[in-house]
Amino acid sequence: MKKIIKKYYLLILIFVFLLSIFGVNSYKYLRNESHLEKMHNDNLERCTNEVVTEDMIEFCEAVKKEPASQKNFYNMLYDTHSAGYYSLGFFLFLFVIVQSNKIVCHFFKNNCLKNYLTRQSYKKTIKELFLDAYKPALLFPLITIIAYIVCYFTTGTFNYGNMWEESTMSNPALFMVVYLLKITIMSFFYVNIGLIVCKKNHDFIISVIKSYLLFIGIDLFLEVIVGTLILHIIFRSEFGLLLNILSIFTLYDNFNNGLFYSVIIPLIFLIISTIILYRTYRNKENLIIECEKND
């Protein structure tokens, strides 16, 4: 247990930090809903027990039609999770890759590669290393599953909220699967960026900085060049919003087949990055030379 904590302490700290933010957001959401529910009950009592003047008729009719509680799964998930981490948007990529980069950089910098190659093949060594490095990619999916559980058991209803399209919320199971898939795929894409950088950068801090700069560069290219200049200005399309790789928790469903594209676009990013990753690490001798520079 101590070895696991020592190895993954960064990931554990980040998990606790993100879970704490979700907890605070949940408390704020429920406190606000409790306040709104009290206001509704006070207005309902006023409309029921007091003489309703002519200018109050329309207001009281609206109050009587309105449900006492506006709590629902979708609104709570949006407020506490999807938008709940909005202020951390520029740091979410780092939360995923710091632990992955640390694992890979430690392996390469300490010349572990040579030792492993005396006992097993290069392919098996890289496979085991990457399986370990991909574990942090499960951070955001795990937080999302916890959010699903908390939001459902807290609200107990899948009534339509006002944060996503009705067509998106009409099938809760499909919504949850697509949303979780999108987050999971993007998390693995994030790790791929870090792994690609780590091939030639075995210093942990340098690898994190270069990974982040590469990530921001990719995002600017997709959003500004492709999304704005090409799709929006030339083709008058808002499809470029789907190319945003910064907002991992955002679900752009205001398009035809929006849920479909919310998974397909990240999947394309993941496939392209995986191909680049494979080409980056396919040459054993080249990686050995890079590791020998650490001597």
Indicate whether 78 belongs to any domain.
no
Give the range with max mean pLDDT: 43-47, 93-97, 161-165, 222-226.
93-97
Residue 168 — very low, low, confident or very high, per pLDDT cuts 50/70/90? confident
Tokens of 230: 């090409």
Indicate whether 26 belongs to any domain.
no
Give the range with max mean pLDDT: 72-81, 169-178, 276-285.
276-285
**Main-chain dihedrals φ then ψ at residue 52, nearest 5 degrees:** -90, 120
Over the stretch 256-271, which tens digit does the pLDDT of each residue have?
A: 666 788 899 999 999 9
Query: What letters, b where the CB count within 10 A reaches 16 and e where it falls short, cover 214-242?
Result: ebeebbeebbeeebeeebbeeeeeeebbb
Is this structure's pTM higher than 0.85? yes
pLDDT for 68 equals 61
Kindly tell me if the per-residue pLDDT of 281 is higher than 90. yes
The helix (run of H) or strand (run of E) holding residue 122 is helix 122-133
pLDDT for 51 equals 61
- What average pLDDT does the segment 187-206 reach? 97
Sequence-separated (6 or more) residues with CB below 8 Å from residue 8 = 99, 135
Q: When comparing pLDDT for 203 and 295, which is higher?
A: 203
Q: Which one, of 288, 96, 97, lies nearest residue 207 by Cα?
A: 97
Indicate whether 3 belongs to any domain.
no
Terminal CA-CA length for the chain: 32
Indicate whether 181 belongs to any domain.
yes
Indicate whether 155 belongs to any domain.
yes
Q: How many domains does the chain have?
A: 1
* Residue span of the structural domain in which 168 resides: 89-292
- What average pLDDT does the segment 173-193 reach? 95
Indicate whether 252 belongs to any domain.
yes
Kindly tell me if the per-residue pLDDT of 104 is higher than 80. yes
- What average pLDDT does the segment 138-155 reach? 95
Kindly tell me if the per-residue pLDDT of 91 is higher than 90. yes
CA distance 165 to 36: 23
pLDDT for 231 equals 83
Indicate whether 11 belongs to any domain.
no
Indicate whether 162 belongs to any domain.
yes
